[in-house]
Structure 1
Amino acid sequence: MLIKEIESFIEEDLGYDDVSCTIVPDKPSEAVIFAKENCIIAGIKEAGSIFCYLGIQAETNLKDGDRLKEGDVIFRLKGGAVSILRAERLTLNFLGHLSGIATLTRACMDIVRQNSETTRVACTRKTTPGIRKFEKLAVAAGGGDPHRFNLSDSVMIKDNHIKLMGIEAAIEAAKKTGFTRKIEVEVESADDAVMAAKLGADIIMLDNMKPDAVRETLEILKEKGLRDLVIVEASGGISQANLEGYAKTGVDIISMGSLIHKSRWIDISLEITN
């Protein structure tokens, strides 16, 4: 976490006159942060950065992606009482939110692995403004793929691109952006998937297709000798509830915005011990 990010987060939480934490005597204190439910932990580095900035000694043997049980200690803290109280809500927010994402991602990965040895689960750019990179790293902690971090990572040709210029022109324009960037094309039919593959797309996203349609499209690509030339991704309306059906199709990637925007915060708490 960058210093400017830490300072921005602290400024937001403390405001111009911290009348809550400064009423306590600023004496040396100790505290623990612990999980109040089973989870996959994420946000260890982010919390550690905040503790370091505030001069708090934080000890942990955990790393992002570790599985915790209810009651497990995440951090043991030593520092000034005021600093610990100031760090409390900010660090708990990161740990709770990011662990929720990691926990949901791991649950989805478990479903996929029961049905496919190779299919990967990825998130999308449906993230919270300002903390995208942390949310995507939480997906990675849960065993998922972060997909693109931003619009510069690769070229994604979506439906509105195609409406404006057509698949062929869009792919040709994408190829001119640089040889290191992969080109992904969003399609809604098997015919368009075949066209995109023939035009040189690296990744084909099957948008809002049901599992049967995904399976049929994969078969058509295989029949035409194109299946091994592209990565095929299924996206749109996929959740934990219907994930199994997509995992059984043999698609390479299943992307799910719900990994982030439908994750539930994990209950994590800080308690002063001395």
Structure 2
Amino acid sequence: RDLEKAAVVHGGGRPHRRDLADGLLIKTTHTAFVPVATAVARARRVARPGESVEVEVGSVADALAAARAGADALLIDNASPAAARAIVRTLEAAGLRRGRWIELSGGIVPETVARYRRVGADAVSLGALTHSARALPFHLVIEPVRLRPPAR
């Protein structure tokens, strides 16, 4: 993972977390069983000082619920540029956007990232940069070397 992140940096990217252990991320699989407000409250109780609570959202309703529950950040997942922009605009209109980190993720690849630039998010995550990178073809040839005994 460290090599993957280093490659992103060398390519001009800016990783904002190493992995899921760098913060608390409440996924939609969690909120399918526990209301967002409950999940955020529980996350706050176990968060380290200064640790952010991020909630994955997929709709305007999810985003409003997470923001109202006090999430520091929202991860808008698998949304089209238009749907993501609608979420951001709704948060702005409700006074819930300022000071809240918004990240876009899910199905965004280098070829489509430009479509998301006017959404109003703070970051776009491209998993394809690390999990779909092509391997560099290389090989190593090892040739035997004759060693001479040390001179006396």
In structure 1, what is the Cα distance between the partners aligned to 2:54 and 2:77? 12
Residues 27 and 55, structure 2, Cα contact 8 Å, conserved in 1: yes
Q: Which residue of 2 aligns with 1:10?
A: none
Matched residue count: 141
Structure holding more strand per residue:
1
Q: Which residue of 2 aligns with 1:150?
A: 19
In structure 1, what is the Cα distance between the partners aligned to 2:33 and 2:40? 13
| Cα offset, 1:260, TM superposition | 1.1
In structure 1, what is the Cα distance between the partners aligned to 2:58 and 2:85? 13
In structure 2, what is the Cα distance between the partners aligned to 1:237 and 1:189? 16
Q: Which residue of 2 aligns with 1:227?
A: 97
| Cα offset, 1:179, TM superposition | 2.6
In structure 2, what is the Cα distance between the partners aligned to 1:164 and 1:217? 23
Please tell me the residue identity of whatever aligns with 1:223: A
Please list, as runs of the form range in 1=range in 2, the aligned pairs for 1:249-264 lying within 5 A after superposition: 249-264=119-134
| Cα offset, 1:270, TM superposition | 7.5
- Cα pair distance change 1:144/1:199, threshold 3 Å: same
Q: Which residue of 2 aligns with 1:241?
A: 111
Q: Which residue of 1 aligns with 2:42?
A: 173
Please tell me the residue identity of whatever aligns with 1:198: R
Q: Where in structure 2 are there 5+ consecutive unaligned residues?
A: 142-152
In structure 2, what is the Cα distance between the partners aligned to 1:150 and 1:255? 12
Please tell me the residue identity of whatever aligns with 1:135: E
Q: Which residue of 1 aligns with 2:58?
A: 188
Q: Where in structure 1 are there 5+ consecutive unaligned residues?
A: 1-131
Larger RCO (CA within 8 A; separation ≥ 6) = 1
- Cα pair distance change 1:243/1:169, threshold 3 Å: same
Instruction: Report the identity percentage.
Output: 38
Give TM-score, length-normalised by structure 1: 0.48
Q: Secondary structure at the match of 2:98?
A: helix
Q: Which residue of 1 aligns with 2:29?
A: 160
Residues 110 and 126, structure 2, Cα contact 8 Å, conserved in 1: no
Residues 175-228 of structure 1 deviation map (CA, whole Å, 9 limit, x = unaligned): 012232111100111111111112111110111110001111111111111111
In structure 1, what is the Cα distance between the partners aligned to 2:138 and 2:24? 38
